[in-house]
A and B are shown apart, each in its own frame.
Chain A
């Protein structure tokens, strides 16, 4: 398994500003992912953080709004840029650990973002 530390755990931000969320893993992993989740609802994949190359974004998410860094195999950041109240959500980082068909995912505790 993997231990994932995500910070901040929560923040309240002014609209128009940006917030960078950090995700630190206790071991090297190939695949890291960033998700968004409304409280009590399912997860929506934002992007796959690729080490050494640009992130791969899902439909509806763009690099200018959600720039991602992946400088090494244990760390990634997600920035939520030029925030609006619609960006209020829980943001989760996830890693896939080699296991049954390489699908066993582990998650950070999430960052609860409120934009006012």
Chain B
């Protein structure tokens, strides 16, 4: 059973297009994070959201945490080839006792064509 359902798994778009990646769960998370990973490297943290309804912006990237803290989305405006990579959502289950233990979504491979 996948606790965090991430979609879509693959996204191939042209430079300048907008896109949204979704991360959904039936469980409540105390916090949720988004990572980006390039080939040959480990995942790099982009943002952490902790409050239901929270919206954070990082240049052309907008992250949103659902009101019930069960879902999140990543929206990229005017995508660029440099945005290409594997995007991963990950969260800490609310009420969990395992310090620092993250649950990951399946990942979204984004390819932005020039």
Contact = CB atoms under 8 A, between A and B. Distances in A.
A92 B88 CA distance: 15
A104 B107 contact: no
B104 interface: yes
Contacts, number: 76
A41 B98 CA distance: 24
Contacts of A100: 31, 48, 50
Interface stretch (A11-19, A42-50, A67-75): A42-50
Nearest to B100: A96
Contact of A104 (B30, B33, B88): B33
Interface residues of A, number: 30
B33 A40 contact: no
Interface string A25-57: 000001101000001111111001000000000
A42 B102 contact: no
Interface residues of B, number: 29
B38 to A, nearest CB: 10
A4 to B, nearest CB: 8
A9 B39 CA distance: 12
B58 to A, nearest CB: 15
B28 interface: no
Contact of B104 (A39, A42, A109): A42
Nearest to A112: B40
A33 B50 contact: no
Interface in A84-108: 92, 94, 96, 99-108
B100 A103 contact: yes
A4 B92 CA distance: 22
Interface in B36-51: 39-45, 48, 50
B43 A104 contact: no
B86 interface: yes
Contact of A110 (B41, B50, B106): B41
Ranked 3 nearest A-B pairs via Cβ: A107-B42, A96-B100, A31-B100
Interface of B: 6, 30-31, 33, 35, 39-45, 48, 50, 86, 88, 90-92, 98-102, 104-107, 109
